[in-house]
């Protein structure tokens, strides 16, 4: 084999390439790519007095929203080109309960889906002579716009038992359409379990139903023994099914089942169950009983969005089902390094928080730990790395960064170190916790934060801790640049 002789320029290039490889091997930071899922924010709540929310983004560019109304007497729809726009979108009643007989009471938990060129709404209903004879039903709509479509009743979804059943949802994995729902097993002293079956068509199941989850953990059995409201999100070859547990008061929360998309989903052994809730009440943010969720995607299609209801107070007088104040809310879903979803906590009302990843350490996010601000990887306690960007405490045209899980606490500099501290109302605190939002110093797609009361000093990481320092070198600028996610 003949070898080419390296000329001086080629030799120099080879040395530089080798040196670069060595630097990479020692863990030297590399410039981050712009995140696949950039920051997205919404202002909660999206809809007052709307429970069991379902938002479906269609190919026509519209989001379609339906939910349980507190009168339990009708099915309503809204549409808008943005999720936030659903808040003020006009509402249309597409179906009203029967005056007598089945489908005459307790109209609950509608979901809207588009299947094979037609619209379908799944819902639960009781009967006028027995309001607790809850069963699952389907409407079929023909027309481009479901708010003006012609709707027909396809009847009841028949299952293995004629028993209390509700919360039907449908999804497709590897070309197979499934129905998941909640139902009472007449032979068990339970309220509801979660079941799964294949579908022959949008209103008929075909396989023998399989029980996926039964309420056995303590957090699933407060008030009532309940697993209900299944919802599915898929990513990375995994199928994640969230469900709601316990009574519909402040104890209501989300659990989660996980399966491989390549597994036999009709085998209970294919699913693993989280031993703790994945989303629960937060006294810190005054959000109680989050549950009965669905999933949608952001306007740019790059972020997964959790849709759910909760209340902004804990104590309820009487039966929670008679309390009308469950509100529809949304917030971004984040993904852990192991590929599992991270829902964090139900965030405070108002603008939703963001995360900020380091430009030159892309797997590290700004977070607080023992109130000290730093950048860190694998922050599974999500809310420690979430901050609401709010109007600056010290003046217009500026911003402050408020903690998601410690409302009223802000990132502020003290002795040029960045800490998370409670706003004491002083002018000094306001100045220290206020920043000018600048275009990223190292990348215009990023963001940098310049101190309000020390112009020229920016929030930057140094040995992974955040400080407020002057920047002059390219390394300084890289350390002071972050991406909103």
Annotated catalytic residues are 52, 228
Question: CA 125, 128, 130 angle in degrees (round to 5)?
Answer: 80
Q: Is 84 helix (H, G, I), strand (E, B) or coil?
A: helix
Q: Of 484, 468, 450, 441, whose CA–CA distance to 373 is shortest?
A: 468
Q: Is 449 helix (H, G, I), strand (E, B) or coil?
A: strand
**DSSP bridge pairs for 259:** 239
On whether the CB atoms of residues 123 and 137 are closer than 8 A, the answer is yes
**DSSP bridge pairs for 108:** 124
CA end-to-end span of the chain, whole Å? 52
Whole-number Å distance between alpha carbons of 163 and 159: 9
| Contacting residues for 235 by C-beta, under 8 A, at least 6 apart | 304, 335, 339, 341
On whether the CB atoms of residues 115 and 56 are closer than 8 A, the answer is no
Whole-number Å distance between alpha carbons of 402 and 387: 5
| Cis amide bond preceding 204, omega within 30 | no
Whole-number Å distance between alpha carbons of 377 and 363: 5
Whole-number Å distance between alpha carbons of 177 and 197: 9
Question: How far, rounded to the nearest angstrom, does the alpha carbon of residue 18 sit from its chain's CA centroid?
Answer: 44
Buried b (16+ CB within 10 A) or exposed e, 154-175: bebbebeeeebbbbbbbbebee
Sign (positive or negative) of CA dihedral 187, 190, 192, 193: negative
DSSP string, 351-384: EPPB-EEESSSTTEEEEEETTEEEEEE---SGGG
On whether the CB atoms of residues 39 and 49 are closer than 8 A, the answer is no
* DSSP letter assigned to residue 313: -
Whole-number Å distance between alpha carbons of 252 and 393: 35
Residue 427: phi and psi, rounded to 5, are -65, -35
């Amino acid at each position: 084999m003949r070898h080419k002789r390296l000329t001086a320029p080629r030799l120099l290039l080879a040395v530089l390439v080798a040196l670069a490889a060595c630097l990479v091997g020692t863990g030297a930071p590399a410039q981050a790519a712009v995140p696949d899922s950039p920051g997205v924010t919404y202002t909660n709540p999206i809809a007052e007095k709307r429970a069991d929310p379902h938002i479906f983004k269609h190919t026509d560019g519209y989001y379609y929203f339906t939910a349980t109304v507190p009168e339990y007497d009708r099915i309503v729809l809204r549409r808008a080109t943005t999720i936030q726009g659903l808040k003020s979108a006009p509402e249309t009643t597409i179906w009203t309960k029967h005056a007598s007989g089945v489908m005459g009471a307790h109209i609950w938990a509608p979901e809207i889906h588009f299947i094979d060129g037609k619209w379908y709404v799944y819902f639960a209903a009781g009967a006028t002579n027995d309001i607790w004879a809850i069963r699952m039903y389907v409407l079929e709509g023909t027309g481009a716009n479901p708010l003006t479509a012609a709707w027909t009743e396809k009847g009841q979804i028949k299952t293995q038992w004629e028993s209390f059943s509700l919360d039907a949802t449908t999804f497709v994995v590897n070309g197979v359409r499934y129905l998941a729902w909640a139902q009472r097993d007449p032979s068990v002293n339970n309220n509801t379990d979660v079941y799964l079956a294949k579908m022959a068509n949008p209103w008929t199941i075909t396989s023998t139903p399989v029980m996926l989850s039964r309420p056995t953990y303590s957090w699933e059995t407060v008030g009532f023994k309940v697993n209900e409201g299944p919802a599915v999100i898929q990513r990375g070859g995994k199928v994640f099914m969230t469900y709601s547990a316990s009574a519909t008061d402040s104890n209501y929360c989300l659990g989660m089942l996980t399966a491989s998309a390549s597994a036999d989903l009709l085998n209970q052994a294919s699913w693993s169950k989280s031993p703790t809730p994945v989303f629960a009440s937060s006294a810190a943010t005054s959000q109680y009983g989050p549950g009965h969720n669905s999933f949608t995607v952001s306007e740019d299609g790059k972020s997964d969005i959790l849709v759910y209801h909760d209340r902004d107070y804990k104590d309820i007088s009487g039966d929670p089902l008679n309390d009308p104040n469950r509100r529809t809310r949304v917030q971004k879903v984040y993904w852990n390094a192991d590929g599992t979803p991270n829902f964090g906590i139900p965030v405070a009302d108002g603008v939703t928080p963001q995360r900020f990843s380091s430009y030159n350490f892309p797997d590290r996010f700004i977070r607080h730990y023992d109130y000290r601000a730093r950048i860190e990887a694998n922050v599974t306690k999500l809310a420690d790395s979430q901050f609401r960007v709010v109007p600056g405490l010290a003046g217009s045209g500026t911003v402050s960064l408020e903690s998601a899980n410690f409302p009223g606490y802000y990132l502020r500099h003290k002795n040029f170190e960045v800490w998370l501290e409670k706003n004491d109302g002083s002018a000094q605190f306001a100045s220290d916790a206020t920043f000018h939002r600048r275009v990223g110093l190292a990348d215009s797609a990023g963001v940098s934060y310049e101190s309000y009361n020390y112009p020229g000093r920016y929030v930057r990481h140094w040995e992974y801790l955040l400080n407020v320092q002057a920047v002059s070198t390219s390394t300084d600028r890289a350390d002071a640049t972050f991406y909103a996610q």
